[in-house]
Structure 1
């Protein structure tokens, strides 16, 4: 396996660091528009693990240009293109990978467009629609595009598949629930606003109309931040208010898994929701460039890009962050014997540990872990397929076994949890 990693930001950097401890691939080309950033990632890997006989190579790439993606992939004989940049680049990387005759993985799907006249009740273009429409092209080429293979989506979909195969005979709801008790402080120790993930992506997810799926209704939308509920997260995180947010799981799981309802809710908090609402009211969430006067004359800049540039880079806040983040799926329904059942399957990432082991903050590290596991399963032929698929299309058991198996025994040493909520 020869991997072209597109993007050496927070998640891409963590992917390379996690992969450096594994031996399932021949070469990983760490590429970025900023070559120096890719080189910094490789320098960290070599400082920790040695030169590794050229297994890691830096390259410059323009993720907005499919020809650039194809050219870099072909130059390095890439068998797999791993997309680790913002979802606005999905169409070009997706096209470049197929043109290079390579398999493709991402962690966020092609962007949605709200319904023009009824955005808070009906879907328009849904997340991933553009990619799934191209499935015949990938099938004809005999290549695999594995979409949404991060933590959420990704691990959440693996949990859902495991629940469907092993825990339930009938599923009422597959509810992804994400919460954390993370705190970021400035140099003086005061708590500050510093999102732990790309603000560009967060704005996209949180201000678009959330999507819900119901068997009798199909996909429909609601207003942002709808249906608040307090969810109890494990391992000391505790109760967090979660709200509906647009997310890929709702668009992926119903394609394969049989459930009456699929939802995604995220623990944002009142402050974060207030900031997002203010950005929207001021038009600072827009991706349409506007003309701005500067000392060097007029320039055009997208307001959302300006917001992202003004906030701390999520990849750099790890040393000032404390706490844990939890990703999981709350499943309700009946077990194979017909008895009521309610479980929460989850994985918790502790910032203190990820910083000590990888110098990566816990949210980006937890996201990065999952595509590396998926790539290893693909490399070994445990997972295989052609066309455009999500993680729930694959057997969850070998994935979760490899993830939880101790490092000394060849695994990733990341146990996952399962709580029976009816027993409480």
Structure 2
């Protein structure tokens, strides 16, 4: 194992803080610099381990990222901030000679004339456009390596290699039974993940992939279905949402269709539709008094910080992949591969709420596999490009096992 991995973690928010807490228990890296625009946040996250140091970084500036990489001889840049910062961090890592990982890819732009039928600029297009340069340089950009995308893509590789001879659909299904208690004990509206990112992915035209059509779009919240989630979570209505898996999986895994559906719940969908109707989802700057602000940033500032919700949260979150098709012997098969995290467990064990913890654990596992030399590659790659078994084994070793459920193949 290489002990010379030096990581720059950009972003010390909910996921970044959880990433640091998980990595602190592992010995596969030499040092980690935790960079944030707010140094105090970086210092809090860095306090858990002597190998960690805090630094200020401007995630919107490739040169700021490059300079910090060079100052600390960084080998791997881990992006843990909103996807609007993907490109400057991605470019800064490349300029500094470091490898790169993220949990969300470069942003999409809807088709100007037919947004709910045709794709415009797709998620990840800006990164894939320079894949040849990364490959020629022998450098790796491992993209979409959170939980979704990330673990769901590992599941796709596992299903193709070990469970299915022919895949009809790779259907990511995400749901939870989480509640957040308000100060008076009643349930309050408080998103458990970055509201900026949630608005982006839920109000953009969702993407679907079909072998005979390629990528196309539908309307937000389309094709609702009730999916029965395991481990006591139960039935949750899921709808189409724009997500990276649909853009990643077909590049490496043979299938007839790829979808992503998210269990948002009726209240959340109503809130998102209202924000859109009022223009509060916009990222364009508006003048308010003497200041210029983005409406979406205002919404995010008015809601509780997801990283601080843990003590008020109850329940479990589930991320998974529903695969349908035929098994290796040609018989019909329907299998749900999943990962459940109980908030009570993640808070007691790590002090971080389950949604951010579940997102953060996967890039730590991936970095350990890269440090060990178990995973290696060059170019702009998704998790589907690598062997799934070592990843799933190591995730279990981290104390957070995955699950497999056989469903009625007719249903």
Any idea what SS the aligned residue of 2:93 has? helix
The answer to whether structure 1 residue 166 and structure 2 residue 152 are counterparts is no
Aligned equivalents of 1:20, 1:259: Cα separation in 2: 38
Show the 5 A alignment for 1:186-335.
186-293=182-289, 298-335=290-327
Show the 5 A alignment for 1:341-356.
341-356=333-348
Q: What are the Cα deviations for residues 156-200 of structure 1, in whole angstroms up to 9, with x where unaligned?
A: 000010000000000000000000000001121010000000000
How far apart are 1:133 and its partner, in Å? 0.2
Q: Please, which of 38, 41, 59 is the counterpart of residue 37 of structure 1?
A: 41
Aligned equivalents of 2:11, 2:382: Cα separation in 1: 21
How far apart are 1:97 and its partner, in Å? 0.2
Any idea what SS the aligned residue of 1:372 has? helix
Any idea what SS the aligned residue of 1:12 has? helix
Matched residue, 2:386: 394
Any idea what SS the aligned residue of 1:95 has? helix
How far apart are 1:358 and its partner, in Å? 1.2
Any idea what SS the aligned residue of 1:264 has? strand
Of the structure 1 ranges 414-423 and 312-321, higher mean CA displacement relative to structure 2 is found in 414-423
Show the 5 A alignment for 1:362-401.
362-401=354-393
The count of aligned residue pairs is 406
How far apart are 1:237 and its partner, in Å? 0.1
CA contact (8 A) 1:111 1:127 kept: yes
Matched residue, 1:129: 125
How far apart are 1:96 and its partner, in Å? 0.1
Show the 5 A alignment for 1:99-178.
99-178=95-174
CA contact (8 A) 1:159 1:345 kept: yes
Aligned equivalents of 1:264, 1:147: Cα separation in 2: 17
The answer to whether structure 1 residue 71 and structure 2 residue 73 are counterparts is no
Matched residue, 1:22: 26
Aligned equivalents of 1:369, 1:114: Cα separation in 2: 31
Aligned equivalents of 1:235, 1:24: Cα separation in 2: 32
Q: What are the Cα deviations for residues 366-402 of structure 1, in whole angstroms up to 9, with x where unaligned?
A: 0000000000000000000001000101000111111
The answer for unaligned runs of 5 or more in structure 2 is none
The answer to whether structure 1 residue 418 and structure 2 residue 404 are counterparts is yes
The answer for unaligned runs of 5 or more in structure 1 is 405-410
Aligned equivalents of 1:36, 1:109: Cα separation in 2: 27
How far apart are 1:422 and its partner, in Å? 2.2
CA contact (8 A) 1:101 1:141 kept: no
CA contact (8 A) 1:323 1:352 kept: yes
Any idea what SS the aligned residue of 2:25 has? coil
How far apart are 1:140 and its partner, in Å? 2.0
CA contact (8 A) 2:341 2:400 kept: no
CA contact (8 A) 1:88 1:110 kept: yes
CA contact (8 A) 1:200 1:308 kept: yes
Q: Please, which of 34, 53, 76 is the counterpart of residue 57 of structure 1?
A: 53
Aligned equivalents of 1:362, 1:139: Cα separation in 2: 35
Any idea what SS the aligned residue of 1:343 has? strand
CA contact (8 A) 2:8 2:78 kept: yes
How far apart are 1:24 and its partner, in Å? 0.2
Any idea what SS the aligned residue of 2:408 has? helix
Q: What are the Cα deviations for residues 24-62 of structure 1, in whole angstroms up to 9, with x where unaligned?
A: 00001111011111101122x14xxxx3xxx11111100
Q: Please, which of 350, 359, 365 is the counterpart of residue 351 of structure 2?
A: 359
Structure 1 stretches (4+) deviating beyond 3 angstroms?
none
The answer to whether structure 1 residue 185 and structure 2 residue 177 are counterparts is no
Q: What are the Cα deviations for residues 123-168 of structure 1, in whole angstroms up to 9, with x where unaligned?
A: 0000000000011111122110000000000000000100000000
Aligned equivalents of 2:171, 2:135: Cα separation in 1: 30
